[in-house]
Structure 1
Amino acid sequence: MVLAAALAVASPPLAVARAAEPALVAQLVKLHKVSGTVFSPDGGRAVFVVAEPAVGKDRKSSIWLYESATQTTRKLTAAGKQDSQPRWSSDGKTLAFISSRGDDEPQVYLLPMDGGEAQPLTTAKGGVSAFEWSPAGGMIAYVGSDPEPESPEKENGDDEIVASQGFGPLRLNVIDLATKTSRKVLAGDRWAIGMFAWKPDGQGVVATVSDGFKPEGAIDRLFEISVADGAMREIGQIKGVEFSDLKVSPDGRLAAFLASGDGPIPHDLYVQTLAGGPARNLTGAGVRGGVDRPVADPTWTGPTSLTFATQEGFGGAVYSVSTVTGRIRELKRFQDNDVSALAVSGDRMLYAKSNSVTPVEVWASTGGTERKVTNLHAGFAALVAPRLIKYASADGFEIEAQLFTPAGAPGPSPFVVLVHGGPSGRWSNAVNDRAQLLVQQGFAVLAPNIRGSVGYGYAFVKSNRADWGGGDFRDVMAGVDQMIAQGVADPERLGIAGWSYGGYMSAWAVTQTHRFKGAVVGAAMLDLETQWGTEDGELIPYDTWYVGTPWDNKADFARMSPITHVKNVTTPTLLLVGEDDSVDPIAQNWQFYRALRMNGVKAEMVAYPREGHRVSEELHSRDVLTRTTEWLVDHVKGAGK
Structure 2
Amino acid sequence: MHLKLSLALAALLAATAAPAQLQPKDLFSLQVASDPQVRPDGKAVAYVRATGDVMNDRMNRSIWMIDLASGAQAPIAAGPGQHASPRWSPDGKRLAYVSYAEGEKPQLWVRWMDSGTVARVATLPEAPRSLRWSPDGRSIAFAMFVPGEAPRLGKAPDKPEGAKWADPVRYTDQLVYRTDSEGLLRAGDVQLFIVSASGGAPRQLTRDKGGDPGPLAFTPDGRAILIGANRKPGADRDPVESEIIRIPVDGGDATRLTNRDGPDSEPAVSPDGRLIAYTGFDDRKRNSQDMRLYVMNADGSNPRLLTGGFDRPISRPMWSPDGRSILALTIDRGEGKVVRVGLDGKVTTLAGGLAGGSLDRPYSGGDYHAAGNVVAFVAGDEHRPGDIAVSRRGRTTRLTDLNADLLAARKLGEVRKLAVTSSRDGAPIDTWVVLPSDYRPGEKRPTILEIHGGPASSYGANFGTDMQLYAAAGYVVVYPNARLSTSYGEAFSINPDPTQPFADYADFMSAVDAAVAAGYADPANLFVTGGSYGGYAAAAIIGKTDRFRAAALQKPVINWVSKILNTDIIAAQYEYTYGKQPWDNPEILWRNSPLSLVGNVKTPTLVVVGERDYRTPISESEQYYGALQLRGIPSGLMVVPGANHGGLTARPSQSAAKASAIIAWFDRYRTVTK
Q: Normalising to structure 1: TM-score of the pair?
A: 0.88
Alignment of 1:547 onto 2:569: no
Q: 1:447 — aligned with what?
A: 479
Moved more, 415-424 or 118-127: 118-127
Distance in structure 2 (CA, Å) of the matches to 1:478 and 1:128: 48
Aligned residue in 2 for 1:53: 52
Given the superposition, is the C-alpha separation of residues 586 and 465 from structure 1 closer, same or farther in structure 2, using an over 3 Å criterion? farther
Is residue 2:535 matched to residue 1:503? Answer: yes
Aligned to 1:633: 667
Contact 1:130–1:142 (CA under 8 A) maintained in structure 2: yes
| 1:590 Cα offset (Å) | 1.0
Q: Deviations over 1:366-395 (max 9, x none)?
A: 233332211210221221222212221112
How far apart are 1:159 and its partner, in Å? Answer: 5.3
Equivalence for 2:188: 168
The DSSP-based 3-state class of the residue aligned with 1:582 is coil
Q: Secondary structure at the match of 1:186?
A: coil
Match of 2:319 among 273, 295, 300: 300
Counterparts of 1:168 and 1:625 in 2: how far apart (Å)?
Answer: 38
One-letter code aligned to 1:259: G
Structure 1 distance, partners of 2:463, 2:499, is: 30
Hey, what's the Cα distance between the residues in 1 that align with 2:636 and 2:211? 45
Alignment map for 1:155-194 (pairs within 5 Å): 160-164=170-174, 167-178=187-198, 180-187=200-207, 189=209, 193-194=213-214
Q: Choose the corresponding residue for 2:243, options 209, 212, 221.
A: 221
Q: Distance in 1 between matches of 2:400 and 2:275?
A: 36
Q: Which amino acid in 2 is paired with 1:235?
A: L
Give the Cα separation in 2 of the matches to 1:520 and 1:403: 19
Shift of residue 605 of structure 1?
A: 1.1
Are residues 1:105 and 2:113 paired? Answer: no
Does residue 1:212 correspond to 2:233, yes or no? yes
Q: Report deviation, 1:195.
A: 3.7
Match of 1:489 among 478, 501, 521: 521
Structure 2 CA distance for aligned equivalents of residues 41 and 490 of structure 1: 55
Q: CA contact under 8 A between 1:536 and 1:583: conserved in structure 2?
A: yes
Where does residue 9 of structure 2 map in the other structure? none
Alpha-carbon RMSD: 2.9
Please list, as runs of the form range in 1=range in 2, the aligned pairs for 1:273-352 lying within 5 A after superposition: 273-277=297-301, 279-284=303-308, 287=309, 290=310, 292-301=311-320, 302-323=322-343, 325-334=344-353, 340-352=366-378
Matched, 1:255 2:276: yes
Deviation at residue 178 of structure 1 after TM alignment: 4.6
Match of 1:361 among 384, 387, 406: 387
Cα deviations by residue, 1:464-499 (Å, 9 ceiling, x for unpaired): 663685221111011222333343322221110111
Q: Work out which of the residue numbers 436, 444, 449 in structure 2 matches 1:417.
A: 449
Gap change, CA 1:184 and 1:344, over 3 Å in 2: closer
CA distance in 1, matches of 2:599, 2:671: 25
Provide the rounded CA distance (Å) in 1 between the counterparts of 2:202 and 2:386.
39
Q: CA deviation at 1:243?
A: 6.0
Q: Secondary structure at the match of 1:319?
A: strand
Deviation string, structure 1 residues 106-149 (Cα, Å, up to 9, x no partner) = 22111111233533223232322322111112222221112357
Q: Which stretch of the first structure deviates more once superposed, 339-348 or 397-406?
A: 339-348
How far does residue 339 in structure 1 lie from its aligned partner after superposition? 7.2
Note the alpha carbon deviations across 1:31-52, whole angstroms, 9 max, x for none: 3332211212221222111222
Given the superposition, is the C-alpha separation of residues 189 and 405 from structure 1 closer, same or farther in structure 2, using an over 3 Å criterion? closer
* Structure 1 position 246 matched with structure 2 position 256: no
Aligned pair 1:121/2:121, yes or no? yes
CA distance in 1, matches of 2:503, 2:207: 50
Corresponding position of 1:40: 39
* Structure 1 contact 145–170 (Cα < 8 Å) conserved: yes
Equivalent residue runs for 1:548-587 within 5 Å: 548=579, 549-587=581-619
- Counterparts of 2:260 and 2:82 in 1: how far apart (Å)? 32
Query: Which range is displaced more, 146-155 or 463-472?
Result: 146-155
Aligned partners of 1:125 and 1:185: how far apart in 2? 16
Deviations along 1:444-465, one digit per CA (max 9) or x if unpaired, are 2211110111221121121466
Task: Tell me which moved more, 40-49 or 253-262.
Answer: 253-262
Which stretch of structure 1 is more off in the superposition, 625-634 or 482-491? 482-491
Give the aligned residue type for 2:660: T
Native 8 Å contact 1:339 1:351 kept in 2: no
What residue in structure 2 maps to residue 5 of structure 1?
A: none
List per-residue Cα deviations over 1:244-292 (Å, max 9, x = no partner): 53322222233223334345355332223332246433224xx2xx2x2
Aligned to 1:13: none
C-alpha distance in 1 between matches for 2:606 and 2:528 = 11
**Equivalent residue for 1:12?**
none
Contact 2:354–2:380, Cα closer than 8 Å, also in 1: no
Alignment check: 8 A CA contact 1:465 1:547 kept = no
Corresponding residue of 1:141: 141
CA contact (8 A) 1:87 1:96 kept: yes
Q: Deviations over 1:616-639 (max 9, x none)?
A: 11211110111122212222x337
Structure 2 CA distance for partners of 1:282 and 1:639, relative to 1, 3 Å: farther
Q: Where does residue 201 of structure 1 map in the other structure?
A: 221
Q: Secondary structure at the match of 2:419?
A: strand
Q: Per-residue displacement from partner, 1:549-603 (whole Å, max 9, x unpaired)?
A: 3133322211111122222211111111111112221111111111111111111
For residues 38 and 384 of structure 1, do their structure 2 counterparts lie closer, same or farther at Cα, with a shift above 3 Å needed?
same
Q: Give secondary structure in 2 for the equivalent of 1:550.
A: coil
Paired AA for residue 305 in structure 1: S
For 2:355 and 2:47, locate their aligned partners in 1 and report how far apart those are by CA, in whole Å: 23
Matches of 2:256 and 2:87, distance apart in 1: 27
**Distance verdict in 2 for CA 1:436–1:467, change over 3 Å:** farther
Q: What stretches of structure 2 of length at least 5 have no aligned partner?
A: 1-19, 160-166, 178-186, 357-363
Equivalent pair of 1:54/1:617 in contact (CA under 8 Å) = no
C-alpha distance in structure 1 between counterparts of 2:336 and 2:462, whole Å = 12
- Other-structure match for 1:383: 412
Partner of residue 404 from structure 1, selected from 434, 451, 472: 434
CA contact (8 A) 2:527 2:549 kept: yes
Distance 1:582 1:243, change over 3 A: farther
Sort the Cα spacing of 1:192 and 1:483 in 2 relative to 1 into closer, same or farther, 3 A.
closer
Q: Which residue of structure 1 lines up, in the alignment, with residue 361 of structure 2?
A: none
Structure 1 pair 571–82 and aligned structure 2 pair: CA distance change class (3 A): same
Q: Percent identity?
A: 27
Code of the residue aligned with 1:220 in structure 2: it is S
Task: Specify the code of the residue in structure 2 equivalent to 1:118.
Answer: V
Quick one: which amino acid aligns to residue 330 of structure 1? T
